[in-house]
Amino acid sequence: MRADVLSVLRGSYLREKNTRAKKILKAVLDNAACAKKEKLAICQDTGMPVIFAQLGQELKISGNLKEAINKGIAAGYKKYSLRNSIVMDPLFRGKPGFSPAIVHLDIVPGDKLKLTLLPKGFGCENKSQLKMFKPTCGLQEIKDFIVDAVKSAGADACPPYVIGVGIGGSADYSGILAKEALLKKVTRSPGHQVTRFISGLEQDLLKSINKLNIGPMGLGGKTTALAVNILTYPTHIAGLPVSVNISCHALRSASVVL
Amino acid sequence: MKKINTPLTLNEINSLKAGQEVFLSGIIYTARDQAHKRIVENLGKGKETPFDLKDAVIYYCGPTQAPKGKVIGSCGPTTSSRMDEFVGFMLAKGLRGMIGKGSRSRQVKEAIKKYKGIYFITYAGCGALLNKYIKSAKKIAYSDLGPEAVLELEVEDFPLIVAIDVNGGNVYGQD
């Protein structure tokens, strides 16, 4: 589990007043410790591997980058006994394997390649939502949509959640932003690159969500979400896309620069 | 703390109430999306099921591979509501208990009441922690489904919370 997620979980455990919620949060913390000690995955759903790749434009790559990424993922998943959850055909299904990953590629200055892996569990991925708002809509409508998305996820997607939100771009791009938002640290550090407005919005939403009384495993309590992370992007005069990508508490990601 | 055992007869669960914590020991079977589809299709054609449904307990779980020296990998519950459409049919054929995470449809609650079944939840997203309650694991069917194959698990004091009891009492309250 990511260190920042673990740290917020610990804080939530200490602050939680509901006896059952506290007991479940303790189990979640014990699980993380047990996984580390026993070298087991924190959750059996080791996700659909999603890669955010930042390719330096001065870098010359020989060979097949996507193939190399998929080979690396399959080798890593196999080595650490992670689950083969990917079927090659969405309609005809078939025997599951480890890859392919979904690769989001961005071209950046420089001569390095940065790869970030987010293995995303599907219990929570299933609760993702997209809404195309009118450009004249009020902020409250957007807030309600985000809070309602968490409400409809309810107990199903392993709360406490981390809520990724993408605002702007296009229908497809807001979805990528919402997922990428899950990569932002859930601890608020001085290096956290958001405007004061977005930071305030994140805190407002977190407060509203934690009043829903969903709680760990949906059995009540004030720990429904650990954080709300928002990313924005310029959009079209005619629209305002908003996507919500919910992560369970088993939020895992890691980066490497090559 | 109340302890219960498989086979899960009505007598074992009749007094349990939604919200109560219990420990389960005995044999349970993993089955999730595709296994449910197949079991129900097979039942419809009068074919045999991979295990006897009578007083059986199904665990909605697709574990990770067992690392060296362990009987199973990470093995927490998956979202139960995806199996809702199959539940009535399986309870009618003798299934007694289900273990998963999250809430169920009104139809599932009604079927549980009608056939005197029970729905448990267990620690969600805690697959490493739950590993230690599993004493043995044996693949018994549908190995072509990979992690969705049907496993026979021997569990000891597996921690559960009653989510929907035999009388339709529901820990999630909603209808």
Q: Please report, in tens digits, the pLDDT of each residue of chain A (258 residues total).
A: 899 999 999 999 999 999 999 999 999 999 999 999 999 999 999 999 999 999 999 999 999 999 999 999 999 999 999 999 999 999 999 999 999 999 999 999 999 999 999 999 999 999 999 999 999 999 999 999 999 999 999 999 999 999 999 999 999 999 999 999 999 999 876 555 568 899 999 999 999 999 999 999 999 999 999 999 999 999 999 999 999 999 999 999 999 999
* Total domain count, chain B: 1
The pLDDT value recorded for residue A195 is 84
- Residues of B noted as catalytic: 36
What pLDDT sits at residue B58? Answer: 98
Q: What is the pLDDT of residue A189?
A: 62
Token digits of residue B67: 């690392």
B7, B55 Cβ separation under 8 angstroms: yes
Answer whether residue B107 is part of any domain: yes
| Full DSSP string of A183-200 | TS-SS--TT----HHHHH
Separation in Å, CA of A89 to nearest CA in chain B: 13
* A135–B contact, CB cutoff 8 A: no
Instruction: State whether A82 and B65 contact (CB < 8 Å).
Output: yes
Dist CA A117 CA A101 (whole Å): 9
Contact B127 A155 (CB under 8 A): no
- Indicate the length of chain B as a whole number: 175
d(CA A169, CA A182): 17
Here the CATH number for the domain that contains residue B155 is 3.20.130.10
Q: Which residue has the tokens 């940065």?
A: A114
- Please tell me what DSSP assigns to residue A231: E
| Reported pTM | 0.95
A17 to chain B, any CB pair closer than 8 A? The answer is no
Question: Can you give the three-state secondary structure of chain B, one letter per residue?
Answer: CEEEECCCCHHHHCCCCCCCEEEEEEEEEECCHHHHHHHHHHHHCCCCCCCCCCCCEEECCCCCCCCCCCCCCCCCCCEHHHHHHHHHHHHHCCCCEEEEECCCCHHHHHHHHHHCCEEEECCCCCHHHHHHHEEEEEEEECHHHHHHCEEEEEEEEEEEEEEECCCCCECCCCC
Positive or negative torsion for Cα A16, A22, A28, A32: positive
Q: Using the beta-carbon criterion (under 8 Å), do B102 and A156 form an inter-chain contact?
A: yes
pLDDT at A21: 97
The pLDDT of residue A196 is 87
Residue span of the structural domain in which B117 resides: 2-9+22-164
Q: For residue B17, tell me if it sits in a domain.
A: no
Positive or negative, the Cα torsion across A65, A45, A216, B164? positive
What pLDDT is stored for residue A124 in this prediction? 97
Cis check: omega of the bond before A160, within 30 degrees of 0 = yes
Query: Quick one: CA torsion of A15, A18, A20, A26, rounded to 10 degrees?
Result: 0
In chain A, where are the structural domains located?
48-120, 123-252
Across the interface, of A30, A43, A249, the residue whose CB is closest to B74 is A43
Rounded percentage of chain B residues whose pLDDT exceeds 90: 97
Q: Which of B34, B59, B65 to mutate to test the interface with A (most CBs of A within 10 A)?
A: B65
Residue B66 contacts A, CB cutoff 8 Å: yes
Residue B15 lies in a domain: no
The residues of chain B scoring below 50 in pLDDT are: none
* B61 domain-assigned: yes
CB distance A249 to A161 below 8 Å: yes
Residue of chain B nearest A156, judged by CA positions: B102
Write the ipTM: 0.93
Give the model's pLDDT for residue B69. Answer: 94
In this complex, do B125 and A155 lie within 8 Å of one another by their Cβ atoms? Answer: no
- The pLDDT tens digits for B139-172 are 999 999 999 999 999 999 999 999 999 999 999 9
Beta-carbon separation of B63 and A157 below 8 A: no
